Amino acid sequence: MANTPQAKKRIRRNTNRAEINGARISRIRSFVKRVETAIEGGDKDAAKAALLSAQPELARGVARGVLHKNTASRKMSRLTKRVAAL
């Protein structure tokens, strides 16, 4: 258990940040899921539109520190390749 005021504040801050970061990751996953659903449905126009909205979300995740740069880059690359293959 934390004893110093600094450690107590750190615990409060960490729980708040974990909640916010979890929401951010969930939002990113939702955008990626929309792209994957459109790809599975075979709807190229919807997949392109979903991909265009997912890319800034992934980039925002990197900027906010919830995703690694290479992870976001890999996801964008793979989704783009799958949409192009439709």
Q: Determine the pLDDT at residue 18.
A: 97
Domain residue limits at 11? 5-84
The total of structural domains in the chain comes to: 1
Place of tokens 């290479």: 70
Q: CA 59: distance to chain centroid?
A: 8
* CATH code of the domain containing 16: 1.20.58.110
pLDDT cut 70: percent of the chain above it: 100
pTM for this structure?
A: 0.85
Both tokens of residue 70?
A: 């290479």
Both tokens of residue 34?
A: 């929309």
Could you give the count of Cα atoms lying within 13 Å of 62 in the half-sphere of its Cβ?
14
Q: Pick the closest to residue 82 from 56, 49, 58, 51 (CA basis).
A: 51
- The stretch 60-82 carries a mean pLDDT of 96
pLDDT in tens, 16-46: 999 999 999 999 999 999 999 999 999 999 9
